[in-house]
Structure 1
């Protein structure tokens, strides 16, 4: 890999939003409209959860299919270029998600993860799953 490719990818990675994405915003607005209040992007917790209900010890992550490797065994073959970069990166994201889940659960938190397309297609259903865990 030459230096230009590495620098270019580095710039691309910096430009990717890590908070207030469309999927997070859709889910938060749905929760808010139903009267639920939360904290967002709490960096004192492992994984910096997207939505946090501190008093109920419930955290929510809004995961995009690409970055978090939905159906990874099948979908990784759809990546046609720079596989040597993307495969390890996404596999590490998947591993990190597992580690974060385990750590939070050991701390007594309930961890909920939703795929981006599920949030966009049916935010009310995702919201209901959260509400059910808050009760």
Structure 2
């Protein structure tokens, strides 16, 4: 059973942003301070990546552990009520993420995923340093989690 009424829960869920989230803004600031320039939320790319690095042919998704189901993460909890609804929603999110990343790689883009827990556990500067190091390399994938 929910601890708040339906109207309050609806208002709370409507307030959850899809872009310019706190972890995303923190990472962007750290990258910018390192002199790395980027574009934001390019709608012409599959999945509308959070950060696009055209110079490096790379994109970065800053994933929240809850919504994108970071495996083994304590933030990837499942609500107790309406379990079937949440499971199908989470499964759809994960499938969409995989599909978008696959399409980006096929189109020649390099893909990075930075998890919310990595920014908390390792710090934003460490995450930005890891991402900057990857940008200068040649590998097609990069993932930074806090586990």
Is the helix fraction higher in 1 or 2? 1
Q: Write the mapping of 1:36-75 to structure 2, written as runs, cut at 5 A.
A: 36-71=36-71
Unaligned runs of 5+ in 1: none
Alignment RMSD (CA, Å): 2.5
Task: Report if the CA contact (8 A) 1:46-1:104 is conserved.
Answer: yes
Shift of 1:78: 4.2
Q: Give the TM-score, by structure 1 length.
A: 0.84
Displacement over 2 Å in runs of 4+: 7-15, 74-79
Looking at structure 1, the residues matched to 127 and 76 of structure 2 have their Cα atoms a distance apart, in angstroms, of 26
Gap change, CA 1:104 and 1:10, over 3 Å in 2:
farther
Looking at structure 1, the residues matched to 114 and 76 of structure 2 have their Cα atoms a distance apart, in angstroms, of 20
Task: For residue 71 of structure 1, give the secondary structure of its aligned residue in structure 2.
Answer: coil
Task: Report if the CA contact (8 A) 1:49-1:60 is conserved.
Answer: yes
Looking at structure 1, the residues matched to 78 and 71 of structure 2 have their Cα atoms a distance apart, in angstroms, of 11
Q: How many residues align?
A: 130
Unaligned runs of 5+ in 2: 1-5, 137-147
Structure number with greater CO (CA < 8 Å, separation at least 6) is 1
Shift of 1:40: 0.8
Gap change, CA 1:83 and 1:67, over 3 Å in 2:
same
For residue 129 of structure 1, what is the aligned residue in structure 2?
130
